[in-house]
Structure 1
Amino acid sequence: MSSSGTVTKLLGHIDSYYAASANSAPQYPALDQEIEADVCIIGAGYTGLSSALHLAERGYKVVVLEAERLAWGASGRNGGHVGVGQRKGQEDLEKMLGLDTAKALWDLGLEAVQLVEDLVDRHQIQCDLKRGIMHLAAKRSHSAWLKEEAELLQGRYGYDQIRYAEQDEIRTLVGSDRFYGGQVDSGSLHLHPLNFALGIAEAAAKAGVQFFEHSRVTSYSGGSPCTVNTSKGRVRAANVILACNGYLGGLEPRLAGKIMPINNFVLATEPLPDALAQELIANDYALQDTLFVINYWKLSSDNRLVFGGGENYTSRFPQDIRAFVRKYMLRIYPQLADTRIDYGWGGTLAITLNRMPCVGRLEPNVFYSQGYSGHGVPTATFAGKLLAEVVAGTEERFDILAQIPTPSFPGGTLLRWPGLVAGMLYYSLKDKLGG
């Protein structure tokens, strides 16, 4: 039981609002024998779960190994935003990769959001799926590029579900005077991230996937077949998918230097009166601002404000996460000063140097996808579908992501931390300055 008197409903998960409001889910055994499979997936977040489901639907025998519980990591702890596009804006992608590739990535991003909605509908996943995200200008100078981006998406990309809203309208929609305008995007979604992941897992299990929890992979080797080892068992498989993301650790040194694990933090308030909830978010969209260390928030199905703010770059979480995040929330909503905070939790995600997903193959039968940089709900779920396609021999769509350059952090895993911290502190300082 937490200090607020709340109960963590889903055993083995951290104490969060999501765990306390999770749908029921079975516990799976640890691997304690040697088994065979067509595909062994390491990691049971969105990437691994979606890969497993799509592969099983194609008739493959799939085994998933998870070090903790299914969706224990970032997939069960995040803000639940399901945004269109990529983590990088379209104008940046055009400059980096050219117009044709940027348009192909835009189309994949739209399909990723649609895939989430289709999975929820097809498998009747109860995950509080709602429509709409607003992107809010935290500085006056940010309003211009949000407006330009909305016009770019409307014109060049034919995306008519986004519009720019001026400051007065945003104040009415958001209940805060902190913002200078924003994008209103009715094509994006938001949801309960843990229940979405558990729903995919349930569908995958029904399709024949074998899950093993508390089965941390200690080593693996490629070859024919590949061998994947845990402390008490082994999987021999024709293919391996690495779906570890921020929890990769030292399992695969060839990939570790391409991502940086960072920690992000979230709180959930007590249930709010209807009038106050309506004041905070009039249209029940999910919200995010334009700061480098972004704030993001939404209302839960029981009128709690679920608010993410602040991050750190160490191996430790703040001692009092609720207080750590609360100060960010009160900068936007000072009217919540007397509101009780029922939950506070953190999670580890992986960012890449260029903020684009790191996707590819290490050997002919060893595949990976990681580094979603805060855009993981749609991107990781869709990556799972693409991984299933490439295992089945269809490479075209997988290669669109795989061909994006994924530079390693300078200094690799040894020196990436001090470099990242210096860079993050610089941009955090810029967040605090006016403009």
Structure 2
Amino acid sequence: MNPLYRNDKRGEHAPSWYAASLPPEVARPALAGAISADVVILGAGYTGLWAALTLARAGRRVIVLEAHRVGFGASGRNGGQVQSGFNKPQSWLEERLGITRARALWDMAQAAKDQLRDFCATHAPEAAFRAGLAHGEYSLADLDHARREGDHMARHYGQEIAIMDRAEFSGLVKSPLYVGGSFDPSGGHLHPLAYARALARAAEAAGAVIHETTEVLSVTPGPKIVLTTPKGQVTATHAIIAGNGYLPNILPAVNARVMPINSFIAATDPLPDRWQEVLARDIAVSDSKFVVNYYRFSDDRRFLFGGRESYSIAYPRDIETALVARMLRLFPQLGGVGITHVWGGALGITMSRLPHVAQVAPNILSGAGFSGHGVALSGMAGRVMAEAVMGQEDGLSALSSLPVGRFPGGAGLRAPILTLAMTWFALRDRLGI
């Protein structure tokens, strides 16, 4: 089934607290007829919108095609966590890519956070960026690994990450399950849908045109690329594909390397007088479970708790029960708290959990597979691809060097194989091995 519709209603946002907390936006018109552009972009999430903004500011004619609404996919419904680096330790990247390339990638990831913070400060105060990101560890071996990596980052990159033992970390993140953890002051969290909407407004102000409820049915490569939609088509010199976990099977080179996986979030009633029973500070937190838990508080002090508990393509009938059970195992003090919103969404992951940003045809670029690190990195990928269209290819060369292989069996078998693997890792998490 088409990933654009298997769990969502056409042209509607997920029933998230994010969508409920913002005023409704007037829908942008669907594409009707045949038009041309310098660059056509598939997807109005962070990647596509940063590409559109960068290109429009440079005077390019840009058309963005979005099957649903701006920020419909992972960009508008994620955990809102702004991570440092990539979903692999920096030492891992050094071993495989060399220190020079790894350093360039780190600098790019740092610039991605700066880009996001600066944009929120100037264009999206409603996104409410807050600094501070913690990571909880369940075993002393994991804590020791975090300490070694923290020492490495301090010595070689000047990145100060505080490593905390059980007593210190439990004063910050008030769960009995962690043996310790780390705190990164350069990370943070924000309202993801508000950020996406602000990016769209900025891109349009610069001259980009966004068509919503306009699904791309096919991509026809050639000197002039043609993207065909139900009621029209766009012909362009360059295309940027930014569908991520919602990309239909229309670009095999991408679909074979990027797999959608579902993640779920619950929002509690506001806890204005109790939130510091859970977190001592207004920070975001994730942890070392393979089936990761991630959480933070909203501006109105709802606890937003996310985790991955289903590996089937379709959502489970009951999202809430398993998700809330995970939350209460970590924070039993929240027993009896009301749940107001529960939603799910697909994120794109790769075999290596590193982004797939690549030239998939002479004039077609794709960015996807950010594997839980996309709030900052996906925007940088969009900017890098836009710069490559304009002849500045250093950033694209760096991101393209990340090792991202094909899923065994390609697009056809990636889902059942990944389901088996993820179920095994979920069992390991439950058994504590």
Q: For the superposition of Structure 1 and Structure 2, which TM-score range results when normalised by the shorter chain?
A: over 0.9
Q: Residue 356 of structure 1 is aligned with which of 341, 346, 354?
A: 354
Secondary structure at the counterpart of residue 217 of structure 1: coil
1:291 and 2:289 aligned? yes
The residue that corresponds to 2:365 in the other structure is 367
The residue that corresponds to 2:4 in the other structure is none
**Equivalent residues in 2 for 1:133-144, closer than 5 Å:** 133-144=133-144
Cα shift at 1:22: 2.1
**Equivalent residues in 2 for 1:202-217, closer than 5 Å:** 202-217=201-216
The residue that corresponds to 2:305 in the other structure is 307
Cα shift at 1:254: 1.9
The residue that corresponds to 2:223 in the other structure is 224
The residue that corresponds to 1:333 in the other structure is 331
The residue that corresponds to 2:179 in the other structure is 180
Greater CA drift, 390-399 or 309-318: 309-318
The residue that corresponds to 2:7 in the other structure is none
C-alpha separation in 2, matches of 1:122 and 1:303: 24
Task: State whether residues 113 and 189 of structure 1, in contact with CA within 8 Å, keep that contact through their aligned partners in structure 2.
Answer: no
The residue that corresponds to 2:383 in the other structure is 385
The residue that corresponds to 2:3 in the other structure is none
The residue that corresponds to 2:62 in the other structure is 62
1:282 and 2:277 aligned? no
C-alpha separation in 2, matches of 1:76 and 1:311: 20
Cα shift at 1:124: 3.7
C-alpha separation in 2, matches of 1:167 and 1:182: 8
Cα shift at 1:347: 0.2
5+ residue gaps in structure 1?
1-10
Residue 233 of structure 1 aligns with an amino acid whose one-letter code is G
Secondary structure at the counterpart of residue 126 of structure 2: coil
Greater CA drift, 353-362 or 92-101: 92-101
Deviations 1:66-90 (A, max 9, x none): 0111111111110000111111111
1:264 and 2:263 aligned? yes
Residue 238 of structure 1 aligns with an amino acid whose one-letter code is T
C-alpha separation in 1, matches of 2:402 and 2:271: 44
Task: State whether residues 124 and 194 of structure 2, in contact with CA within 8 Å, keep that contact through their aligned partners in structure 1.
Answer: no
The residue that corresponds to 1:42 in the other structure is 42
C-alpha separation in 2, matches of 1:92 and 1:311: 28
CA RMSD of aligned residues (A): 1.3
Residue 92 of structure 1 aligns with an amino acid whose one-letter code is W
5+ residue gaps in structure 2?
1-10
C-alpha separation in 2, matches of 1:23 and 1:93: 42
Deviations 1:263-312 (A, max 9, x none): 000000000132x2012111111001101010000000000000001232
Cα shift at 1:24: 4.7
Cα shift at 1:377: 0.5
1:249 and 2:248 aligned? yes
The residue that corresponds to 2:121 in the other structure is 121
1:346 and 2:344 aligned? yes
C-alpha separation in 2, matches of 1:23 and 1:156: 45
Residue 248 of structure 2 aligns with an amino acid whose one-letter code is G
C-alpha separation in 1, matches of 2:184 and 2:283: 9
C-alpha separation in 1, matches of 2:201 and 2:122: 12
Cα shift at 1:149: 1.4
Cα shift at 1:192: 0.6
Task: State whether residues 136 and 181 of structure 1, in contact with CA within 8 Å, keep that contact through their aligned partners in structure 2.
Answer: yes
Task: State whether residues 277 and 333 of structure 2, in contact with CA within 8 Å, keep that contact through their aligned partners in structure 1.
Answer: no
Cα shift at 1:404: 2.3
C-alpha separation in 2, matches of 1:405 and 1:306: 33
Moved over 4 A (4+): none
Greater CA drift, 321-330 or 61-70: 321-330
Cα shift at 1:25: 3.0
Cα shift at 1:313: 2.2
Residue 385 of structure 2 aligns with an amino acid whose one-letter code is L
The residue that corresponds to 2:90 in the other structure is 90
C-alpha separation in 1, matches of 2:310 and 2:319: 11
Cα shift at 1:227: 1.1
Cα shift at 1:434: 3.2
Task: State whether residues 53 and 203 of structure 1, in contact with CA within 8 Å, keep that contact through their aligned partners in structure 2.
Answer: yes
CA pair 15-380 structure 1, distance change in 2 beyond 3 A: same
Deviations 1:148-185 (A, max 9, x none): 1111111121112x111111011111121111111111
C-alpha separation in 2, matches of 1:273 and 1:361: 48
Secondary structure at the counterpart of residue 312 of structure 1: coil
C-alpha separation in 2, matches of 1:377 and 1:227: 29
C-alpha separation in 2, matches of 1:405 and 1:178: 34
Secondary structure at the counterpart of residue 156 of structure 1: helix
Deviations 1:191-234 (A, max 9, x none): 01111111101111111111111100111212232111101011
C-alpha separation in 1, matches of 2:124 and 2:248: 35
Aligned residues: 423
The residue that corresponds to 2:398 in the other structure is 400
Greater CA drift, 397-406 or 57-66: 397-406
Greater CA drift, 162-171 or 424-433: 424-433
Task: State whether residues 311 and 423 of structure 2, in contact with CA within 8 Å, keep that contact through their aligned partners in structure 1.
Answer: no
C-alpha separation in 1, matches of 2:97 and 2:427: 30
Cα shift at 1:14: 1.6
